[in-house]
Amino acid sequence: MWKRRLIFLCLVLLTALPCTHSDGAILADAPAAIPAETKYIALTFDDGPRKSTTTKLLDGLRERGASATFFLVGEQIEANRELVERMKAEGHQVGNHTWSHAKLEGADAGTVAWEIKKTNDLLVSILGEGTYWLRPPYGRIQEAQKKQITVPMVTWSIDSRDWESLNAAKAAQSVLQEAHPNAIILMHDIYPTSVEAALKIVDVLQKEGYVFVTVEELLALNGIKPQLGVIYRSGDPL
Ligand SMILES: [Zn+2]
């Protein structure tokens, strides 16, 4: 549903334009028309899908018109095919978090390749051809391993540490304290407290003028062309 997403972003632009262009002139150059006060931010969710929690999260994101990015553990995909299809249909970005949540750092090249390819192949079979970006488990990969990665990689600039506190208020608060435009926020959609925290974060930041986009959209909005084998931590130009 890229089209729907684009329409949404255009609407955001249209509503923000009068603030910066009081003469009402229509600008021909769309990128130049992005008002400085529009703040984009990306929520990312690792370790899912999990039927109960991911379903609730998708419902909440849909109600709020917020997009997110999901880095899926391959061995959990088959039992949750309809959730993965729903992610794509509702404008979210779907990415790869290896097959078995393997620690890539220190693993041999064959294991790294197998962990990534098995999940990638399943995503292609369900969602079709595409570039399924990688989040290495624990955000860790060795410099020498990067050259065998044939997709862009994503870590984060804000860590909710939601898995540690398992406390919705605490996780939301830690993210809200650090929130800044172009941030990439790390959360996990396998805990009910994380879902509650994420929706609270969306509610608060949308009131502050933030627009929730996928990581791919965040980079594109900042004019960044994602490179294969490169790690992106935020939407800020490197
Ligand atoms: Zn993980």
Q: How far is the CA of 146 from the centre of ligand 1 (A)?
A: 18
Does residue 230 have a pLDDT over 90?
yes
Query: What pLDDT, in 10s, does the model give residues 182-229?
Result: 999 999 999 999 999 999 999 999 999 999 999 999 999 999 999 999
Q: What does pTM read for this prediction? A: 0.86
Q: What is the pLDDT of residue 35?
A: 52
Q: What is the pLDDT of residue 31?
A: 52
Query: What pLDDT, in 10s, does the model give residues 30-65?
Result: 455 555 578 999 999 999 999 999 999 999 999 999
Domain membership of residue 128 (yes or no) is yes
For Cα atoms 23, 24, 28, give the angle at the middle one, nearest 5 degrees. 115
| Annotated catalytic residue, options 47, 162, 188, 189 | 188
pLDDT band at 92 (very low <50, low <70, confident <90, very high): very high
Total number of domains constituting the chain: 1
Neighbour-count burial of 24, counting CB atoms closer than 10 A to its CB (0-12 exposed, 13-18 middle, 19+ buried): exposed
Tokens of 214: 């996928």
Long-range contacts of 145-149, Cβ-Cβ distance < 8 Å, separation of 24 or more: 145/104, 145/105, 145/109, 145/112, 146/229, 146/230, 146/231, 147/229, 148/109, 148/112, 148/113, 148/229, 149/116, 149/228, 149/229
Q: How far is the CA of 116 from the centre of ligand 1 (A)?
A: 14
The 8-class DSSP code of residue 229 comes to T
The 8-class DSSP code of residue 9 comes to H
Domain membership of residue 95 (yes or no) is yes
| Annotated catalytic residue, options 23, 46, 203, 236 | 46
Domain membership of residue 183 (yes or no) is yes
Domain membership of residue 30 (yes or no) is no
Domain membership of residue 118 (yes or no) is yes
Of 121, 127, 60, 57, the closest CA to residue 94 belongs to 127
Domain membership of residue 98 (yes or no) is yes
Cis amide leading into 49 (omega within 30): yes
Q: How far is the CA of 36 from the centre of ligand 1 (A)?
A: 34
Q: How far is the CA of 147 from the centre of ligand 1 (A)?
A: 21
Domain membership of residue 102 (yes or no) is yes
Range name among 10-24, 45-59, 86-100 with the lowest pLDDT average: 10-24
C-beta separation of 193 from 21 below 8 A? no
Structural domain harbouring 198: 39-232
Q: Is 188 a catalytic residue?
A: yes
Protein residues with C-beta less than 5 angstroms from the ion ligand 1: 46-47, 137
Query: What pLDDT, in 10s, does the model give residues 98-116?
Result: 999 999 999 999 999 999 9
Q: How far is the CA of 179 from the centre of ligand 1 (A)?
A: 21
Q: Which residue has the tokens 């979210």?
A: 92
Q: What is the DSSP string of 45-111?
A: EES---HHHHHHHHHHHHHHT--EEEEE-GGGTGGGHHHHHHHHHTT-EEEE--SS----TT--HHH
CATH number for the domain including 161? 3.20.20.370
Q: How far is the CA of 47 from the centre of ligand 1 (A)?
A: 5
As a whole number, the mean pLDDT across the chain is 89
